[in-house]
Structure 1
């Protein structure tokens, strides 16, 4: 049989055998009739199980997968084969057989005993052990039956560490487990079998007072009604009659309300505080195909989208009328983007291989970035006009084994049996990084020894860092030792796992007082031997949004106002010297005015080109140009007018490396790292890891640098003088310490905002950050005056030096924080920005982006040339306004909670990959997924897999929600349970075997399928023993 289907310009050709089984699917162009790739399927005619899958591109085999099975139809081997090399990655499953049962190895034939991975250099297996008989208590009256024959007893990983299942209920649900650290977790269920509580037990087995308990309540429909955190904070969910999420409410009464259309699309989102005042809103319009047509801001400023016949977003028009055109190839993959089609015409082209891997990007300058892959889809060669050629190799499990950069430096990677990275070896062995797991470190005190399954030590060219954990897995102690100097950082937590107290290396304690939502409302600072000082109090927050302000310890108040899009409206400290600024935006969301906080009259006007790149800073009153910038289509700065001088920026035709500014030459190494500015005036040396290791001026060394295995610069030294630097686990700078380990400056944070500073005299200062988290004012609370300012109205890319003596007392206050994640380094003249070094004078990085084009089409540009709207704390990728959208306190790291909630069972959370569980991301974030679409896997009938996936999942939820039918006859009820489990597993298997692109990628249900099959076999065995010899 044959079926040909067209969706716009896309052609699909299906071939079936005489039994109606699909044996080949071909895809191509309907316009030319050309078939570009073909997927062939070999299926066992008796069982219907897949035997092999082959993907060919114009007759050339590019991918193959093979499966084998035992007589029971259980998967024995799964093989991925690279057709070019013949290499195979084989995963093997081993099951309990009759001989094993007779030998007492396992209780029931068909139970999974081991899953053996593809690695041959180590024992790469996960092993399963089962209870061989019923709990002796099962025979008592009344019965105390913790487990039955065939229940899973232990799950043991490749390192021999296990999770033990201590008890089950009568329905086979786990009641209690013990992890490799010896920590007990108990589970309770409501009468309908839904998980109602997860209790991670404390040290007192007789009480729940020291347990971390998360509780889940449900509506009668099975949808989550409330999730309550261990500290009592909760989030509630409300649904309409169609079981669609309509409202989210936190324990303070803040709400997010969704207005839905008839098919469940969110056409309006309103966020309100506890009094019912509207704080954030947005609206959407969908077309008749339920595709997003328009998304509008609170003011009604629209972004419009159009689609081709294949359902791809091929047109985007912003509120200023700037249009972007997207083109897609015959396989529904993005092939071209033309931004500002009526003006700049920035054209970017994309090419893909038969496996949908991106193989080439041609940027607006016409330069190619190329990617080459093996048959497993691993990147083996990366060719960039900026960083040259980088080559990669992989081990048999797909872990990266080596990486060789354009300078010829090869780094080698080692992994343990769990595929955790254990070592990175560089040509300079002193820079090697080793990662140690599971081992309790000698610095860990009692109660801090729960390190199994966690990183316990990191040794690198910059430091030795040791980690200690409590029984809940929280990091409670970090000891960083550089050059023999140990810096100890300690964390303490609330019962809900929220940070309660930090103890800095100089023994200063910063404590956090939190409200019911877990948000910090007060911070206190207690120096060693001193009394507690209030740093801030009365902190307020927008519902599910950013901080709205606080009161400093000396009574100063910092107010942070946001509009109905959660864009900053004003930041104001009304006292003399305080930060005071307002913000104005154009309809497209560009920040166009800096005003006084109390009115909208611009002091500074900002202009942008059609791609959102900053082009002008003007005097708000006169319109006189202060600073101006121009760019090429890729985003490289071409000119800069700063003050009265206009500087020309020169680039070679073959790369984006800046070769000269105003006649001052710059040079680079083969990997695109800047090595010199102005000849010997400024020079930089890089080590074999690719990081800047030395700065020189006029040939003289000005500073040396060392980094840890997290990429953090932890040591600077010149001669015998050292500065050691410490960061928290979010990458925030915490402090600098001198040669003797004595604190020089230490920062205090409120989430991602720096709000306090301790100096070497343990004197406390207040920091007032701007809308992006950059410090703009430092206040001396004792004198109530500003001692340091960095004007937001200065040069936009940060090239204005701070005022270190605004109070005029003749004492310079040196403070090196700049844009978020950056610290100015006088020795290099650059801002250290975690993974890179930023040059504020040019608005560019000195190195190409380590993550390549994933960080933007211009790999040297800072935040897309929009420094007052975006920030880059890591030096890898821009983070844009508005502030992150609503979020709720759900323990997302706990898969059992998600399992209990049924994933999207809390509502339309993952709706077509667009409307987010968070309660509404920013419009810019939402639209990114539409303007930068992934490869489509639309079927021949034109229905996209996202639509199919949602429909299938809705059907699955209905089956799961209905459950199995209860019956007074235990045999009938057991039969119903078996049929129910078969139906659920059949649906999961169908998802995971949807060739060639499963709608649920990565075989995500494999473990669940395997466990359910084990449960099914146990139930069938129980049925045969208790009810009948026949399988139901």
Structure 2
């Protein structure tokens, strides 16, 4: 609605076409309804030449008047932009680098920006007949019927037709046959239209033609009110929505927004004083922007007082210098064509990084070089082109070459050869959209689009289709999978999601308040989460409270101190508090929890974490290289891990504090081919032409030329793994359905084979599972999609009898046994009771927590245990057992052991008193505790000898143990995706089986153990550690209590049970716990070998020495078993940082700057609630700078820092990554300066 003319306005994009040969350049057909008539965008771009008899006296473009600058009348100006005569007409040059060229009569010919031509216009007899790309190739044609456009069509035959009545546009038929109709009143004013979805919209106007209301046929919409203050020369506009929201806006005479309110509450106000602009918000915060005489921002002051400064080239207006609030300087050098020549980061500081670029005469980049003082030689990427300027090769810093060998007639690359000589082939339609992709193995995918370039279908091998349908606003409304199951989404009038329905009809609802703010989310199970906001926040940019079903989370924002406080409340009881403090650049510098424990963070000038000090004074330091990857980590006791990288940023070597090295080599395709461990063990990897792993070979360091162990892998055409074969004869084959779900698996152990079967429902949930024995388990689900029952043939049914906020509150077992569970307000397990069929309690436990989720006491069947912790949340006392630790978490003493526990610099246990422990150069224990160990070249335990008895083990390629042999007796193991499901003897006879909830975490919380004679039911503690096995009458057949390190004191063992801590299996022959990827020693509370992924600060600890709330079911990393509730929904930029509720990743809006035809983007995304299963949440921050031009896209750098895990692995970064969407033209690279918000920059022209 136009608040000046008070008339209804509309616009529509009928076609949008990617210009062939230009990756991010689109041309479009757009029409406008203004001042009571329809017009086409490209019809209004001609220049009007007004003469006074002696020559041109005034030139008018888009309503803006240009007057002569002198008597020659060769140059005209509107005070900001210039028009000058050229040889064959006129050229308009805008202040922002845009330009237009006209013929002598004012017909537009071309448009562009700086040195780049963007679009050409084709005319016949003074009428626009087509739009063409920069090279003159027609892209869209116009058809005329007299003086009216009757149709437009692109090169892909997408056609839009127009019909008229009484000279007015009455009907538009889009390229998919959708029809939009327009109706008018007697005065020729539009009063109704029906969109292509069939929804009618009704416009009410008064006698002067002023718009009063716009309502759809359901009555939803808005009413309008206008006024004009002549004294203040100010326009007023009000929209009252039928849902009760009232939006009011005030504008000055130039059309700039001066104030906005929502339901009477101030949202923002803009004041100006000379070249200073004040942006004031409803919460009282203010952003101040200062401009130079050319309209460029030179200073921005944030609400927290942080100041960002900019300097611009006086001629080109490019930003050449920026100084951030911490004083860090970045500088840019540009050539006259707008190409970036050099980008200097952190100028003058030790971490300074310099990127330099060279170009050919056409502006295509030739070289990109990065220099930094990190001990790495200059890294250089180069490009080469053919005579037509099409990219031929890209050579990365490691010398690997990507070739672009063939192009189609439109300049799109149809054949690309990757390093390693693997060819990819592509097909493009006339609109420049990729319609097929074929990999080096001949596997082909196809793509379909609608007229607005939305991807509507992806067709995989075997004609498997994924389809998406969009509404008139290009929002996805339904998604259909390859089996025809459909997910649907409904939107409100403002485009916000109001309903999501899954394939089985389960609905998630979103509601909004009278301000249009998210008010609540209701899950299919009926759980409601609601949101509250301050009166000064009518736009709902940050909540002050989120009300969950069982507790309320409140937020306090302090702009001046850059502090956010989060508190959890249960009624009037405060449960916990977390305070985050942020520096002027948006980095978290301090956190304080409810126990007043403080953690601090220091960052370098490039925004990388270089130092943390944790509670108790535990200090860690990191250094970084030019790729924004961690190059060293210094532990609290001064021990240093180092990482070396190849010229292309790939990890080449890691070096432990003891000087042990693990090295990596990569193939011509850039994929890892070989890893050599510190003890000489070798892993070799082979890959196929599609980049899929096809083989593994392992060589022991003692025999480096002899294959000790090997695996090969098979894949289908959809890049899904379908099987493997071991060098020792074991193998597995999988059958997958069209969605890639496993429906059958056959595992060949050698002496025998076992087969599993699965079926699924429409929501991809397990419907049935057929065991190798032929036993079929059937699963049922409730209306919320939660598991409700499992039918066990011959045993009865397990029933989930209650849930509270998705947590199980009741479980009924065959025979009448029941389990009841209770939780505190934060959803932490509080108690469990096992009852007999008659309701008598048989077993129970209760827990008490502190505000940081640490268990302070546990009462198990009346027996009380109490616990204390150090500042790192490690258990110090467990009733009568006391432990101490060094600063790296290694235990130094424990009640019940004699003497000190000692370690080397790699955290390998060397002694407990007089008992000596030895490790090999790979970090695997070879002796100690009365046992000796051997390891295979894959780093897996091959055998253990205890008291003269040797046990030997074999594994599948994923580290799952297939067999163990003790004293000549072999036991085999079978698995499903949930964990161990069966044990077999040497003939394949089933010894026992296990059952789980479908899709539960691997190896955790088995529900039952079954033998040929009986079924017994597990009873767990809060972690999922079994304390009891009972029969269907409640009789205890196995009972254990556990020590502080998880060693079971078995008290009743009528039947055998080897399940222990989550994911662990007890080996009686050694006393060890098999833990999937490693073995755990409960005698020492440590793993026998180093963490394979090495992403925690100490590679041998189990569950970070907290066995009450943390687990490690896969032997790779500790996991919190009592997570802070996941939440969702709202975030906003607060001072320099985004504060988001847990579970939502929100980032600074994408920031863009176009330079010389290049679209450069700097993006920052911070998820302050990353790793929400721990507390405090560990933020993850990502930043990237990249550019696009033509078919090519370059990511100059991307870096992420994840606070979770070992600091040496927290940083993930990449240097330059360059690729083309396979067309002609060279990329023009740039690392543009931080974008600046300009409230007056409404479009590319400013008028």
TM-score w.r.t. structure 2 length? 0.61
Q: Give the superposition deviation at 1:156.
A: 0.7
Match of 1:63 in 2: 353
Aligned counterpart in structure 2 of residue 723 of structure 1, from 952, 972, 992: 952
Q: 1:639 to 1:9 in 2, by over 3 A?
A: farther
- Given that 1:298 and 1:564 are in contact with CA atoms closer than 8 Å, whether structure 2 keeps it comes out as no
Pairwise CA RMSD: 4.4
Match of 1:257 in 2: 509
- Given that 1:413 and 1:421 are in contact with CA atoms closer than 8 Å, whether structure 2 keeps it comes out as yes
Question: Is residue 1027 of structure 2 the alignment partner of residue 791 of structure 1?
Answer: yes
Offset from partner CA, 1:309-334 (integer Å, 9 cap, x none)? 28966322223432222222343212
Equivalent residues in 2 for 1:252-291, closer than 5 Å: 252-260=504-512, 266-272=518-524, 278-286=525-533, 288=537, 290-291=540-541
Question: Is residue 325 of structure 2 the alignment partner of residue 28 of structure 1?
Answer: yes
Q: Give the superposition deviation at 1:561.
A: 5.7
Q: Give the superposition deviation at 1:503.
A: 0.7
Q: 1:568 to 1:741 in 2, by over 3 A?
A: farther
Q: 1:517 to 1:777 in 2, by over 3 A?
A: closer
**Greater strand proportion:** 2
Please say which of residues 59-68 and 344-353 is displaced more in the overlay: 59-68
Q: How many residues end up aligned between the 2 structures? A: 846
Offset from partner CA, 1:374-408 (integer Å, 9 cap, x none)? 33333222111379321221111111111111222
- Given that 1:593 and 1:603 are in contact with CA atoms closer than 8 Å, whether structure 2 keeps it comes out as yes
Match of 1:80 in 2: 370
Match of 1:217 in 2: 469
State the distance in 2 between where 1:12 and 1:848 align.
46
Name the SS of the counterpart of 1:670 in structure 2. Answer: coil
Match of 1:239 in 2: 491
State the distance in 2 between where 1:802 and 1:912 align.
50
Match of 1:1022 in 2: none
Q: Give the superposition deviation at 1:49.
A: 2.5
State the distance in 2 between where 1:376 and 1:426 align.
24
Name the SS of the counterpart of 1:318 in structure 2. Answer: strand
Match of 1:114 in 2: 393
- Given that 2:982 and 2:990 are in contact with CA atoms closer than 8 Å, whether structure 1 keeps it comes out as no
- Given that 2:566 and 2:577 are in contact with CA atoms closer than 8 Å, whether structure 1 keeps it comes out as yes
- Given that 1:788 and 1:803 are in contact with CA atoms closer than 8 Å, whether structure 2 keeps it comes out as no
Please say which of residues 374-383 and 859-868 is displaced more in the overlay: 859-868
Match of 1:10 in 2: 306
Please say which of residues 781-790 and 234-243 is displaced more in the overlay: 781-790
Aligned counterpart in structure 1 of residue 876 of structure 2, from 610, 634, 638: 638
Q: Give the superposition deviation at 1:842.
A: 7.4
Q: 1:640 to 1:911 in 2, by over 3 A?
A: closer
Equivalent residues in 2 for 1:694-773, closer than 5 Å: 694-698=926-930, 700-701=931-932, 703-706=933-936, 708=938, 723-727=952-956, 733=960, 735-738=962-965, 744-749=971-976, 751-752=977-978, 758=984, 761-763=988-990, 765-769=992-996
Please say which of residues 15-24 and 420-429 is displaced more in the overlay: 15-24
Offset from partner CA, 1:519-573 (integer Å, 9 cap, x none)? 221111346xxxx332x113437746x6444112323322346634323323442
Equivalent residues in 2 for 1:106-185, closer than 5 Å: 109-120=388-399, 124-131=400-407, 148=409, 150-165=411-426, 167-185=427-445
Match of 1:138 in 2: none
Q: 1:264 to 1:752 in 2, by over 3 A?
A: farther
Please say which of residues 631-640 and 330-339 is displaced more in the overlay: 330-339
Q: Give the superposition deviation at 1:603.
A: 2.6
Please say which of residues 833-842 and 485-494 is displaced more in the overlay: 833-842
Q: 1:189 to 1:518 in 2, by over 3 A?
A: same
Name the SS of the counterpart of 2:657 in structure 1. Answer: coil
State the distance in 2 between where 1:547 and 1:786 align.
21
Q: Give the superposition deviation at 1:661.
A: 0.2
State the distance in 1 between where 2:638 and 2:814 align.
49
Match of 2:238 in 1: none
Offset from partner CA, 1:310-364 (integer Å, 9 cap, x none)? 8966322223432222222343212222222xxx322222222112221122221
Q: 1:756 to 1:606 in 2, by over 3 A?
A: same
Offset from partner CA, 1:69-115 (integer Å, 9 cap, x none)? 22332322222211454722222222222xxxxxxxxxxx1222222
Match of 1:612 in 2: 853
Aligned counterpart in structure 2 of residue 199 of structure 1, from 436, 444, 459: 459
Q: Give the superposition deviation at 1:294.
A: 5.0
Question: Is residue 1062 of structure 2 the alignment partner of residue 823 of structure 1?
Answer: no
Match of 1:901 in 2: none
Question: Is residue 698 of structure 2 the alignment partner of residue 459 of structure 1?
Answer: yes
Match of 2:1009 in 1: 779
Q: 1:776 to 1:934 in 2, by over 3 A?
A: closer
Match of 1:423 in 2: 674
Offset from partner CA, 1:653-676 (integer Å, 9 cap, x none)? x54321110153322222112244
Q: 1:927 to 1:673 in 2, by over 3 A?
A: closer
Q: Give the superposition deviation at 1:238.
A: 2.2
Q: 1:387 to 1:542 in 2, by over 3 A?
A: farther
Q: Give the superposition deviation at 1:830.
A: 4.2
Q: Give the superposition deviation at 1:885.
A: 7.9
State the distance in 2 between where 1:318 and 1:194 align.
43
Offset from partner CA, 1:900-937 (integer Å, 9 cap, x none)? xxxxxxxx9965499xxxxxx99996697995445698
Structure 1 residue ranges without an equivalent (≥5): 30-34, 98-108, 132-146, 203-210, 273-277, 440-450, 888-907, 915-920, 938-944, 953-983, 1017-1032
Match of 2:759 in 1: 513
Match of 2:745 in 1: 502
Equivalent residues in 2 for 1:860-1009, closer than 5 Å: 860=1101, 862=1103, 865=1106, 867=1108, 872-880=1113-1121, 911-912=1146-1147, 931-934=1177-1180, 1007=1219
Please say which of residues 553-562 and 405-414 is displaced more in the overlay: 553-562
- Given that 1:722 and 1:738 are in contact with CA atoms closer than 8 Å, whether structure 2 keeps it comes out as yes
State the distance in 1 between where 2:1109 and 2:1086 align.
15
Aligned counterpart in structure 1 of residue 907 of structure 2, from 669, 672, 680: 672
- Given that 2:1193 and 2:1219 are in contact with CA atoms closer than 8 Å, whether structure 1 keeps it comes out as no
Q: 1:993 to 1:565 in 2, by over 3 A?
A: same
Question: Is residue 590 of structure 2 the alignment partner of residue 323 of structure 1?
Answer: no
State the distance in 2 between where 1:83 and 1:922 align.
31
Match of 2:75 in 1: none
State the distance in 2 between where 1:269 and 1:347 align.
34
TM-score w.r.t. structure 1 length? 0.72
Aligned counterpart in structure 2 of residue 383 of structure 1, from 609, 634, 649: 634
Q: Give the superposition deviation at 1:253.
A: 1.0
State the distance in 2 between where 1:130 and 1:867 align.
61
Q: 1:177 to 1:934 in 2, by over 3 A?
A: closer
Q: Give the superposition deviation at 1:7.
A: 3.8
Equivalent residues in 2 for 1:848-859, closer than 5 Å: 855=1096
Q: 1:560 to 1:835 in 2, by over 3 A?
A: same
State the distance in 2 between where 1:50 and 1:684 align.
59
Offset from partner CA, 1:224-268 (integer Å, 9 cap, x none)? 222222233332222222223333222111222233468876542
Question: Is residue 552 of structure 2 the alignment partner of residue 302 of structure 1?
Answer: yes
Name the SS of the counterpart of 1:348 in structure 2. Answer: strand
Q: 1:384 to 1:559 in 2, by over 3 A?
A: farther
- Given that 1:387 and 1:848 are in contact with CA atoms closer than 8 Å, whether structure 2 keeps it comes out as no
State the distance in 2 between where 1:65 and 1:768 align.
58
Match of 2:609 in 1: 358
Please say which of residues 823-832 and 512-521 is displaced more in the overlay: 823-832
Question: Is residue 734 of structure 2 the alignment partner of residue 491 of structure 1?
Answer: yes
Question: Is residue 622 of structure 2 the alignment partner of residue 371 of structure 1?
Answer: yes
**Greater helix proportion:** 1
State the distance in 1 between where 2:420 and 2:456 align.
33
State the distance in 1 between where 2:739 and 2:1065 align.
33
Offset from partner CA, 1:431-490 (integer Å, 9 cap, x none)? 211111128xxxxxxxxxxx7543433435573121111222221221233xxx332122
Q: 1:717 to 1:466 in 2, by over 3 A?
A: farther
Structure with higher Rg: it is 2
Match of 2:334 in 1: 43
Match of 1:553 in 2: 793
Name the SS of the counterpart of 1:610 in structure 2. Answer: coil
State the distance in 2 between where 1:742 and 1:884 align.
47
